[in-house]
């Protein structure tokens, strides 16, 4: 991949794809080892692209892990939701009778 989209940083590592990230639009994001960043110049992008396509670089991606997750978040979230009380319990707003508890209206 080549460009300045977050998909190069977020999704591409899951597919073990090399990415050339152009410019600083993604500055501050975690940059996985599949990403080669280059300033927005023809020479810099060409150099990074050659490295990204090199067999050595591509081979180095075989065992990388995506720092943004493994794609199984939905299953883990569902497991947690199954342990919560019923939705009726979670959405009912309890009534607190302050007057009956000896608290005067002010």
Rounded to 5 degrees, φ, ψ at 22 are -100, 130
Q: What is the pLDDT of residue 25?
A: 93
Is the residue at 85 inside a domain? Answer: no
pTM: 0.68
At 9-40, the pLDDT tens digits run 999 999 999 999 999 999 999 999 999 999 99
Average pLDDT over residues 79-92: 77
- The residue segments making up the domain with residue 37 are 2-60
Number of domains in the chain: 1
Q: What is the pLDDT of residue 97?
A: 83
Task: Write down the residue that tokens 């994001």 correspond to.
Answer: 29
Is the residue at 33 inside a domain? Answer: yes
Is the residue at 66 inside a domain? Answer: no
Is the residue at 6 inside a domain? Answer: yes
Is the residue at 12 inside a domain? Answer: yes
């Amino acid at each position: 991949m080549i460009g300045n989209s977050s998909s190069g940083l977020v999704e591409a590592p899951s597919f073990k794809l090399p990415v050339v990230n152009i410019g600083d639009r993604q500055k501050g994001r975690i940059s996985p080892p599949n990403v080669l960043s280059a300033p927005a110049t023809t020479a810099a992008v060409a150099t990074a692209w050659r490295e990204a396509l090199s067999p050595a670089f591509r081979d180095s991606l075989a065992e990388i892990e995506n720092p943004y997750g493994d794609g199984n978040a939905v299953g883990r979230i569902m497991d947690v939701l199954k342990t919560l009380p019923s939705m009726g319990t979670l959405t009912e707003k309890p009534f607190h009778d302050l007057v009956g508890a000896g608290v005067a209206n002010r």
